[in-house]
Amino acid sequence: MDAVAKSAPDGYTVGMGAISTNALNPHIYKKMPFDPRKDFTAIGQLGNSTIVLEVGAALPVKNVDELLAHVRKNPGLPYATAGAGTSMNLAGVLFAQISKTDWVHVPYKGSAPLITDLIGGQVPVAFDNLPASLPHIQSGKLRALAVAGVQRSPALPDVPTLAEAGLKDYAVEPWFGVYGPAGLPAAVTQRLSKALEEALAEPAVKDKLLAAGFTPRSSTAAEFDALTKREYERLGKVARSANMSND
């Protein structure tokens, strides 16, 4: 995204931005090479990922209520994510805040080592991106307790949202989309946005994303810009209240 921010606004350099790069990270890093509010032109949203709250087979809990009962008896229980400052870290912070429970965050360098340790019993609980964990949930090696989004995931229709599981108003739904540098001409932005929308309407594209655990979701450039600004403000409040930092 730094390269995109510093490129010419001619429509030939665009970047894949997300909830982390364009809404959360500026609040948890002391130094950022760009300002997501000023240095980009929003082109269009592509979709949402899903964060799943999951446990390994070694932890004998089958739902969110049982997990909360367990952590209240064992305060300071570790939960793993794919990294500090990620949307999964945010999901864990919000979970602790709303449920008023005490956890210790264990950040990994990506989902692969996290999943290995979760299956092996080195860590009991994780918040992970569903696309990475889905095969292991389907094979029975991991147990999905809930998803963090507003709606259930099409890939796990029987798994409740955390709001359905009793955490009122809980929602962390990672989004991603395309940005160009600031100053992108309106005609160029519109042309690129229309192309993204047409691509997401293709059944083969939609099916591929759904099968991988993503939810396709297109938007206009104005809608994506509004989402980015709204999430920047919302996540800033959560990060500050939890003293989230990655420095």
Are 115 and 56 within one domain? yes
CA distance 226 to 224: 5
Q: Is residue 29 part of a domain?
A: yes
Q: Is residue 143 part of a domain?
A: yes
CATH number of the domain that residue 136 is part of: 3.40.190.10
CATH number of the domain that residue 21 is part of: 3.40.190.150
For residue 223, the model assigns a pLDDT of 97
CA distance 197 to 192: 9
Are 199 and 139 within one domain? no
Report DSSP letters for 191-219, one per residue: HHHHHHHHHHTSHHHHHHHHHTT-EE---
Q: How many domains does the chain have?
A: 2
Residues 6+ apart with CB under 8 A from 247: 28, 29, 30, 31
Averaged confidence pLDDT in the chain = 94
Are 32 and 81 within one domain? no
Print the domain residue range for 86: 51-147
For residue 7, the model assigns a pLDDT of 98
Burial-class residue 112 by CB neighbours within 10 Å (0-12, 13-18, 19+): exposed
Query: What are the pLDDT digits (tens) for 207-222?
Result: 988 887 788 999 999 9
Query: What are the pLDDT digits (tens) for 126-150?
Result: 999 998 999 999 999 999 999 999 9
φ and ψ at 10, to 5 degrees?
-110, 0
Q: Is residue 135 part of a domain?
A: yes
Last residue of a domain, one of 127, 147, 167: 147
